[in-house]
Structure 1
Amino acid sequence: MSSRVSRLTGVFVGSHAVAQGAVTAKELRSLGYRRLVQGVYADPALPLDHRLRCRGVALLLPPGAAIGGHSAAAWHGAPFAGPNDPVTVVRPASVEWKGPRQVRVHRGPLGPMDVERVDGVPITTAARTAWDVAALEPLGTAVAALDAMVRSGAVTERQLTEMVDAGGNRWGVSRVRRAVPLVDPRAESAPESKVRVAAVLAGLAPVPQLLVIEGGVFLGRVDLGWPEVRLAVEYEGAHHFDAEQIVRDDERYAAMIAAGWRVIRLSSTDLRDLDGVVRRIHAALTT
C-alpha cells in the first residue's frame, strides 16, 4: 500500500488513479487526499491556494479552454482569488463544457494567441486576462487586480489604454472602459485598491502610498492620504497584528498624530461596508 500511496503526489484525477491501480476508491476517501473539485484530488501536503485549485480544474479542461479572468491573474501578479473562490474558465463558443461545481465558465472568443501554458496549466495571457478581469469582475475587484498586474510588470498602463482604445464593440468594453482609468499601480494591496476606488467614485480622490514628512522629518508612509487636511487611511491586514508590527504601527501613528495628522485605521471587517468607509472619510475631510 505504501508504494502506491507514495506515487500519488501532486494533483490527480481520482478515477484515473483508481483505474491505474495506484489507489483504491476506499483509500482515496480514507487517506486524507484533498478534493479540489469533484473528481480531482491533491496531496494534502501541498498548500491549498487558488492556484492549486486551478491546477485541479486544468486536468478536466477540454481542448481549447483555459484558466482565465481573476483565476489567471494569480499567474500575472495578482494572486488575490482565495482558495475557496470559484475557478474562472474561458472557453470558445465551439467548445461545450459546463465544468464541475466551484467552476465559473465564461464563453467568449478565445484563440491560440490568447493562451499560454505555465507548468502544464493553460492560462490566458496577461493582456487577455486583464480584459477579462475588467469585464467580468466587480469594479473594485477588477481595479485591484489591474493595479497589481501593472505593478508586477505583467502589463503596462499604456497597454491597458491601447486595449481600451482598440476595444470597439468587443464584449465587456463598457466595463473595461470604466475600470482602466481607475488603475494606479502605486497601490500595494487589493484592500487598499478597493478603498481607493470607492473614495475616488465618491469624489474623494486620495494620494496612494503617501510619504508623510513634517518639518523635514519622515514620519511614515500611509496607504491613502489627503495631505492638504493631514488625513491618512491605513488598511491593517494580518501582518499588522504581529507583536513587533503593532509596536511599530503605534509609534508611527503616535508621531503622525503629534504632528497634527488624523488616521483612519481599517480592517477586513470594514471592507464589507465600503459605503460606510466612504462616509467616515467624508466626515473626516469636512470637519
Structure 2
Amino acid sequence: MPNDDVPTTARPTRPRRPGDTAPVRPRDVPTALRFRDDRRTAVERRRRRGELVRRRRGRYFPPVADDGGVALRRERTVLQLVGAVASTLRTDFVFSHETAALLHGLSHYRLGEQVHVSQAWKPPARPSGRQLRRHPVDVPPGDRTLVGGRPVTTLERTLVDCARSLPGDRSLVIADSALRAGADRRRVDRVLAEAAGRPGVRRARRIVALADARAESPGESLVRWHLDEHGFAPPDLAVPVLTEVGTCWVDLGWPDRRVGIEFDGAVKYSGGTYGDPSRRLVAEKRRHDALVEAGWIILRLVWADLTDPARLVDRVSRALASAEVRR
C-alpha cells in the first residue's frame, strides 16, 4: 500500500485495555463563501490568483493545504464538498455512508471523493454531478443524529451502510472504528435485519461478524481482513501476555500457538504525543524481547507490508507452522 493511502487517524497510545471505547472527534466542516452578484469581481480575481476554488455552483473555498499526503488532502477536499452540499440542498436529507463515517470522526481507508446523502424521495433525472451521490432511502428518525449541527446517520446505521456498499477492506476499517467509538452491536444487528433482502446485506453480515472494537488502528483491521480472505482462523485481539516486564498487550495473536502480530504505524516513532522517539524505540525493543523470552513468535508489520498480501500471508503461515512444530 502506498504511503499516500495511510489513513489520517493514528492509533491510541499503548496500552489500551480491551473493551475500552476510543472517543472520536467529529470532523470540522469549513464554511463556504457564497457567490453574490456584488462579489463577482472580487471572487473572480481571487480565483485567478488561486486563492479560491469552486466546489459547487456558487460555493467557494480556499485551496486545500498541500501537506500531509494524498489521504489528508482528499479528506479536506471532501469536507469542503460537505460544506458546499450542506449550504445548497433545500430538501430533507441526511449525510450517510462514507460521508457520515468521516463526519463522525471514524477511521477510514482510501476515502472516496463523493459526498453521500440519503433522501426519502427519488432525485430528479438530471445528474447531481460526480461529487454528490444521492441515495433514495427514507432514513427513519431512530437512525438519524446530529454531528456539528448537521443531519448524519447514527454510528450503527453508518456501519451497516458502509458494510453493504464498500469493499471489505475499507468497510472493516470503518466498522472496527465505529464499534471502538461506542456503536451498539444490538442496534447494528437491528439495522442489518431491517435491510434483509437488499443489495450488499450478505457482504455486510460478514463485515459485522468480523468487526471488533478491540482493533486499535486501521492497519490492524486491514491485516485481519487479509487473513480472513485467506482462510486463517480468526486471531484474538489485544492479547494479554505475562512477561518479565509485566503484562504486554499484543495487537493480534493466537494464544494457543503463542504467535502474535504487532502493527507498527510510523507515527508513534515521530514524537509529538508519543514522546521521545528514541525512548519509544528502546521501550518497544525491551517489550519485544520480553515477549520472545516468554515463548512468543512476534511478527512486526508496517504499512508497506500491506502492499503485498501474499507475502504477508506467507509470513503468518510460516510463523504458525513453526509454532506447531515447537509444540
Q: Normalising to structure 2: TM-score of the pair?
A: 0.71
In the other structure, the counterpart of 2:309 is 274
- Whether 2:166 is the aligned partner of 1:137: answer yes
Cα offsets for 1:148-193 (capped at 9, x unmatched)? 112211x211222233333332332222222211111111112211
In the other structure, the counterpart of 2:260 is 232
- Whether 2:321 is the aligned partner of 1:286: answer yes
Deviation at 1:141? 1.8
CA distance in 1, matches of 2:112, 2:193: 35
Deviation at 1:70? 1.6
The residue type paired with residue 24 of structure 1 is V
Deviation at 1:285? 0.4
Match of 2:227 among 166, 174, 199: 199
After alignment, is 179-188 or 247-256 more displaced? 247-256
Matched residue SS, 2:282: helix
Cα pair 1:88 1:105 within 8 Å, conserved: yes
In the other structure, the counterpart of 1:5 is none
The residue type paired with residue 233 of structure 1 is I
CA distance in 2, matches of 1:20, 1:251: 66
Cα offsets for 1:234-262 (capped at 9, x unmatched)? 11113233224333222221222233322
Cα pair 1:65 1:95 within 8 Å, conserved: no
The residue type paired with residue 130 of structure 1 is L
- Whether 2:196 is the aligned partner of 1:168: answer yes
Structure 2 gaps of 5+ residues are 1-28, 66-71, 271-276, 323-327
- Whether 2:150 is the aligned partner of 1:121: answer yes
Matched residue SS, 1:196: helix
- Whether 2:296 is the aligned partner of 1:261: answer yes
Cα pair 1:206 1:224 within 8 Å, conserved: yes
- Whether 2:62 is the aligned partner of 1:17: answer no
Matched residue SS, 1:281: helix
- Whether 2:280 is the aligned partner of 1:251: answer no
CA distance in 2, matches of 1:107, 1:251: 52
Match of 2:51 among 26, 29, 32: 32
Number of residues paired by the alignment? 274
Structure 1 gaps of 5+ residues are 1-8
Deviation at 1:139? 1.4
CA distance in 2, matches of 1:212, 1:178: 29
Cα offsets for 1:22-43 (capped at 9, x unmatched)? 8331113326335556764334
Higher relative contact order (CA 8 A, sep 6+): 2
Q: Which runs of structure 1 show a deviation greater than 6 angstroms over 4 or more consecutive aligned residues? A: none
Matched residue SS, 2:212: coil
How large is the Cα RMSD of the aligned pairs? 3.1
Cα pair 2:260 2:296 within 8 Å, conserved: yes
Matched residue SS, 1:21: helix
Cα pair 2:122 2:136 within 8 Å, conserved: no
Match of 1:63 among 88, 91, 94: 91
Deviation at 1:219? 4.9
CA distance in 2, matches of 1:164, 1:100: 30
In the other structure, the counterpart of 1:108 is 136
The residue type paired with residue 290 of structure 2 is A
After alignment, is 194-203 or 92-101 more displaced? 92-101
Distance 1:269 1:37, change over 3 A: farther
- Whether 2:79 is the aligned partner of 1:52: answer yes
Distance 1:258 1:111, change over 3 A: closer
In the other structure, the counterpart of 1:210 is 239
CA distance in 2, matches of 1:38, 1:229: 59
CA distance in 2, matches of 1:234, 1:34: 42
Distance 1:185 1:264, change over 3 A: same
Q: Normalising to structure 1: TM-score of the pair?
A: 0.80
